[in-house]
Structure 1
Amino acid sequence: MSDRPISRFDVPDLHDLPDDIRELILGIQEKSGFVPNVFLAFARRPAEFRAFFAFHDALMDSNDGLSKAERELIVVATSATNRCLYCVVAHGAILRIRAKNPQLADQVAVNPAKADLTERERHIVDYALKVAGDSANVTDDDLDAMRAAGFTDDEIWDIGAIAALFALSNRYANFTGMRPNDEFYAMAR
């Protein structure tokens, strides 16, 4: 474990947090064996913590449409574009687990155009990257192309919403200097 700070801002002590946030963090710790730094960094602002993770969970924990691995694929691709070390490393670990593929996250983070993606994954990544990098120029033609490729409107929405949420998350992680947990680097390798 690193002794470097996890954020440029003060991180509250777990015992000083509101009960609901402390219980959620302890549940995550029990499940994963450690506390991801994002939870501690966001905990300094309880109202923002609750709002962010409610939105996160609504998009990322859904069992409708996109698979959990596809959702993580979007996060890794867009977070790499946004140069967010925390999200690339943390969600790269989750992608390796959910996709059962130790190479995919690294390939997508470094160069999605050369990643070993299925045709469906290629459509997901290309659309997500357009939303992440040039959302003002997303057109009806883009949506029609996704529909023609077999995506439902809810799936297209989810791809865009995940890209948008992680644009927010990436910026939080970058301005706070949030450091990825050491544990993420070795997961599912």
Structure 2
Amino acid sequence: MARANIPTIEQAPAQAQPILQNYVKVLGLVPNFFALISQSPDALKAIADMHATLGKSLGHKTRERIHIMTAEVNGCSYCLTAHTYLGGKLNGLTKEDMELAREGHSTDPAADAALQFAYKVAKSRGHVDDADFAAIRAVGFSDAQIIDIVAETAFSFITNLFNNTFKTDFDSAFPELHTRKAA
């Protein structure tokens, strides 16, 4: 059970309601994570803005793969559940690719390189080697895209911290999964 109330749209502060309504429009529901943080409209706006803005150069599939990988690294079963569902439903990722993403890999060569780098960033908390930079650049990623990989990974850390701290209840619409760390 969540450590904080998960309000409905109507129970959320007035400033948060339009953001929550946008999630209904886009996803068909308000994920519990967004409902939970709506109690702080400033936090919700910051998270929603980051969610909408970051990582566009990477594409939706690679972004979802990074979220799946980071959830696994941080033992965040809520985020693993949500992003696995969204990765398949909205982005057409295969079960195989989402399973590979949990360990920082992909069936797509460019996504695999991005995920390997993001995995090293996540596991080392950013203490990567020069060889890691050389490897990601060697497959054609620009500095801007590398920044996007790190930003997307960092964004995932934020959501993982919230959901692990508050023990956010799983959304009933998403099939429940557990990270290996949490199992």
Q: Fold match, TM over 0.5?
A: yes
Contact 1:79 1:170 (8 Å CA) reproduced: yes
Any unmatched runs of 5+ in structure 2? 177-183
How far apart in 2 are the matches of 1:160 and 1:52? 16
Greater per-residue helix proportion:
1
How far apart in 2 are the matches of 1:155 and 1:8? 36
How far apart in 2 are the matches of 1:57 and 1:86? 20
How far apart in 2 are the matches of 1:28 and 1:167? 21
Deviation at 1:78, TM superposition (A): 1.2
Provide TM-score, normalisation by structure 2: 0.85
Q: 20, 38, 47: which is aligned to 1:52?
A: 47
Alignment correspondent of 1:105: 98
Q: 1:97 to 1:11 in 2, by over 3 A?
A: closer
Alignment correspondent of 1:69: 61
Alignment of 1:1-189 (within 5 A): 5=1, 7-60=2-55, 62=56, 65-103=57-95, 104-109=97-102, 111-112=103-104, 117-185=107-175
Structure 2 letter corresponding to 1:32: L
User: Which portions of structure 1, spanning 4 or more consecutive aligned residues, are displaced by more than 3 angstroms?
Assistant: 16-20
Contact 1:76 1:87 (8 Å CA) reproduced: yes
Provide TM-score, normalisation by structure 1: 0.82
Structure 1 letter corresponding to 2:80: V
How far apart in 1 are the matches of 2:136 and 2:92? 25
How far apart in 2 are the matches of 1:144 and 1:126? 13
How far apart in 2 are the matches of 1:75 and 1:175? 17
Structure 2 letter corresponding to 1:176: F
| Superposed CA offset, 1:114-137 (max 9, x none) | xx5222122111111111110342
Q: 1:136 to 1:17 in 2, by over 3 A?
A: closer
How far apart in 1 are the matches of 2:89 and 2:75? 22
How far apart in 1 are the matches of 2:174 and 2:126? 34
Deviation at 1:101, TM superposition (A): 3.1
Structure 2 letter corresponding to 1:179: D
Contact 2:104 2:119 (8 Å CA) reproduced: no
Identity among equivalent positions (%) equals 25
